[in-house]
Structures are given as structure tokens and as C-alpha cells.
Structure 1
């Protein structure tokens, strides 16, 4: 399976607690709920398109417990996201959780690289990560992410967990899809095409006074 990361991100790279103040107040984060003022009518179809490609979920423990406390209670037959959570496999990476307590869920307690590597070797379409800030960063550092899909909102949160840690692993990405939505929201899809140190260069002046790239 292909490992794809899906996240809401602010202009300054924050992915923590987008949906509510109490969603993730860890590390003193007090600005949760920063995407709520943006009308989901404008970006909800993008999220629906993400879930339409899903074969299985990969979640960190905290995000799994948050989803478990909400989605099983959504009984609206027209809610496409609730249906996906109800009918698709959910894998949760945790060294402390023993009983997932949610039908269709499996706890993976081993080494991250080994466990995720086994899932990626399975046939199928997409193994999707949603939320799970700590897990996303660990997967990136381990070189396991194939694709990033993001909705970037025009807000500077100013605190909170970022999508990528600094210092951290470098990678080269190719933007394969980009769309500007009403309200200044940008939908992006980026494929990882290179891992390791980034390509670099320098601007310089040639002997005839022209600017060149070296």
C-alpha cells in the first residue's frame, strides 16, 4: 500500500488542534480550533476526495482515541466520513493500548519502521494517516511517507506542533496538484521524489556581468 499523509496546516506550518480548543492542548497549546471559522462548504469536498481513495487508516494513539470517541456516534447515513471509519480497517500504533475498543481496529505495538513496512508491503491502494502530528513527523523522519495531501489555511497560529520538525530529515517533493479554494484555502498534493540532503545552488555573476546559477 502507498502511505499518504493528510493534514490541515496553517500558513506557519502548525497542524495541532485545528478542529477545537480541547482537541489537543498538549504542551500548553491554547489556540485550537483555528480552522473552524473557514466554511467547510469550500473545503469539505477535498476531504471527501481524500477518503474516497482510502483502503486503511494508520493512526497514532491520541488521534485514534479522539476519533473513537466521536465517529462511532455519528449515525447519519449520508455522512461519508463516518461510513469510511465504520467500514475500513484502522491500525493504531501504540505501546500502551491493548484493547482498541472499536470494531475493525488493530493495535500495532512493535517498531514503527517494521510495522509500517509490513503494511506498505500489502497489496491495495492507500494507507492513510489523518491528524496524528507526532506520528506524521516520525514517519517522515523514517522516510516512509509517499505522498502529502494538505489543506493550507490563511492563518498564522503562532504556536503549536508543526508539520515538520527542525532540525529534521530533508526531502524533495513534487507538487502534483494544487487548487486555490474560496477564502484563500489552498489544496495541495505533493509526492516525495527524493530523500536525503536537498539539492542546493548559488546565484553568481559571470565575467560579462550576467547573473548565473552555479
Structure 2
């Protein structure tokens, strides 16, 4: 399986608490719910497509518990996201959560060396092992070079504080945009799909002036 990270972000890269004021108040965050005023008129349409690529989900404990509380209540059979989360295979990363406390459909608790365990999960057949939200987990997997694809739904708002997808110190890496769409209606969110380049490395260069011409060195 490939590993993908799927998340909502702001213009300043914040991914914390998009869906509600109380979704994630850690570190004193008070600006949760920033996608809600921008979620109408098809602005969340790409999300169903994200879930259609999944065979299993990998979540941090905070995101797992938030999703379980909300999505376990959604019983509409036409809601693809709820059906996927309530019935498909899930892995939750936690050294303190018991198997009994993690009960939500087909769920397995991962403890210990998460990077090595995720490497083994990626060796299994299937389409995608998907991370949704899960800021700390996503950062660890990025730094380990395990993320094959990012799917970002970026909203035209600046929050000014909060957990950022790529905070200072993130491992340098190179990606290419394979899909992009400005969603019509509403505020005009931007849907992006990025895949790691062949070597996954950040390339650098320089502009120079030669014989009076602006060129790439």
C-alpha cells in the first residue's frame, strides 16, 4: 500500500481544528471551525474521492477519538465517509490506549516503533493507507520519508496560529502537483494532490545574469 496524508489547511498552513471550536483546543487554540463558513457550495466535494482510494486508515489518538465520537453517529448509508470510517480497517497510534478503549469497528492499536510498523503496513497489498488529520503522526511519517501522496484542501483564510502541516524543522522534500482544482462557488477552496518526486529530495538552484540575460544557472 501507499501512504497518503489527507487534510484541510489554511493559507498559512494550519491544519488544527478545522471542523469546530472544540475539535482541538490543545496549546490554547481558540480559532477552531475555520472551514465551516467556507464549506458550502461544493467546497468539500473532493473529500469523497479521497476516501474512495483507501483500503485502511492510520490515525493519531486525538484524531481517532474525535472521529469516532462524530462519525459513529452518522448512519446515513449514502454518506461514503461515514461508511468507510465505521466499517473499514483502522489503525490508531497510541502507547496508552487499550484495545478495549479503541473499540470502533475493525481497529488495531499500534504501539512502540511506529515508523517501523508503518513500513511493514506499506508492504501489504492494497491501494492506500490513509492518514487524516493526525498532525503529530503526519509530521513523524513525513520526516521518515514515508509519505507518498499529500491531498490538501486549502481554504482562503489565515488563522495566524495553530498546528501547521509543515512547521519549522520539517525534513526537506520535493513533490510534484499531479492534480489541482479551484472549486467554483463559495470561497473558492483549492484542491491539490502532490506526489513525492523520484528521489524525494529538495532540489535547489540559482538565477544568474549572463551577457545581460536572466538565466537559470
Please say whether Structure 1 and Structure 2 have the same fold, judged by a TM-score greater than 0.5: yes
Q: Greater shift after overlay, 153-162 or 66-75?
A: 66-75
Q: Which of the residues 141, 145, 148 maps onto 1:146?
A: 148
**Matches of 2:126 and 2:39, distance apart in 1:** 33
**Match of 1:211?**
214
2:60–2:94 CA contact under 8 A, matched in 1: yes
1:1-214 map, 5 Å: 1-99=1-99, 100-182=102-184, 183-193=187-197, 194-196=199-201, 198-206=202-210, 208-214=211-217
Q: Greater shift after overlay, 140-149 or 63-72?
A: 63-72
2:86–2:104 CA contact under 8 A, matched in 1: no
Q: Greater shift after overlay, 66-75 or 155-164?
A: 66-75
**Matches of 1:14 and 1:144, distance apart in 2:** 21
Matched residue count: 212
1:134-186 residue CA offsets vs partner (Å, 9 max, x unmatched) = 11111101111000001000000100010012122011001000000122210
- Could you tell me how far 1:112 is from its partner in structure 2? 1.3
The runs of 4+ residues in structure 1 deviating greater than 4 Å are: none
3-state SS of the aligned residue for 1:69? helix
Aligned-residue Cα RMSD (Å) equals 1.1
Q: Greater shift after overlay, 55-64 or 110-119?
A: 110-119
- Could you tell me how far 1:103 is from its partner in structure 2? 1.9
**Matches of 1:179 and 1:153, distance apart in 2:** 12
**5+ residue gaps, structure 2:** none
Normalising by the residue count of structure 1, what TM-score does the alignment of the two structures yield?
0.96
**Matches of 2:71 and 2:39, distance apart in 1:** 21
3-state SS of the aligned residue for 1:70? helix
**Matches of 1:40 and 1:170, distance apart in 2:** 35
Q: Greater shift after overlay, 20-29 or 37-46?
A: 37-46
**Matches of 2:126 and 2:147, distance apart in 1:** 16
- Could you tell me how far 1:189 is from its partner in structure 2? 0.2
- Could you tell me how far 1:105 is from its partner in structure 2? 0.4
